[in-house]
Chain A
Amino acid sequence: ETGVTQSPTHLIKTRGQQVTLRCSSQSGHNTVSWYQQALGQGPQFIFQYYREEENGRGNFPPRFSGLQFPNYSSELNVNALELDDSALYLCASSFGLARNTGELFFGEGSRLTVL
Chain B
Amino acid sequence: GNSVTQMEGPVTLSEEAFLTINCTYTATGYPSLFWYVQYPGEGLQLLLKATKADDKGSNKGFEATYRKETTSFHLEKGSVQVSDSAVYFCALSDSGGSNYKLTFGKGTLLTVNP
Residues of A within 8 A of B (CB): 3-4, 31, 33, 40-45, 48, 50, 55-56, 58, 90, 92, 94, 97-109
Contact (Cβ within 8 A) B43 A98:
no
B residues near A100, Cβ cutoff 8 Å: 32, 51, 93
Contact (Cβ within 8 A) A104 B99:
no
Q: How far is the CA of A46 from the CA of B49 in the complex (A)?
A: 22
Q: What distance in Å separates the Cβ of B97 from its nearest Cβ neighbour in chain A?
A: 7
Stretch at the interface among B12-20, B62-70, B76-84, B101-109: B101-109
Q: How far is the CA of A87 from the CA of B63 in the complex (A)?
A: 31
Q: How far is the CA of A103 from the CA of B103 in the complex (A)?
A: 14
Assuming the contacts A42-B4, A56-B97, A56-B98, asked whether A103 and B46 have C-beta atoms less than 8 A apart, the reply is yes
> Does residue B45 face the partner (Cβ distance < 8 Å to A)?
yes
Contact (Cβ within 8 A) B43 A107:
yes
Contact (Cβ within 8 A) B106 A41:
yes
Q: How far is the CA of A98 from the CA of B101 in the complex (A)?
A: 9
Q: How far is the CA of A75 from the CA of B103 in the complex (A)?
A: 22
Contact (Cβ within 8 A) B43 A109:
yes
Assuming the contacts A42-B89, A45-B103, A100-B93, asked whether A55 and B98 have C-beta atoms less than 8 A apart, the reply is yes
Binding site of A, secondary structure by majority: helix, strand, loop or mixed?
A: loop
Binding site of B, secondary structure by majority: helix, strand, loop or mixed?
A: loop
Residue from the set A3, A43, A94, A105 with the largest chain B CB neighbour count within 10 Å: A43
Contact (Cβ within 8 A) B104 A43:
yes
A-B pairs with beta carbons under 8 Å apart, 19 shown: A41-B106, A42-B4, A42-B89, A42-B91, A42-B106, A43-B44, A43-B89, A44-B104, A45-B101, A48-B101, A90-B43, A92-B44, A99-B100, A102-B93, A104-B44, A104-B102, A106-B43, A106-B45, A108-B42
Contact (Cβ within 8 A) B101 A58:
yes
Within 8 A of A (CB), among B28-81: 32, 34, 41-46, 49, 51
Q: What distance in Å separates the Cβ of A109 from its nearest Cβ neighbour in chain B?
A: 7
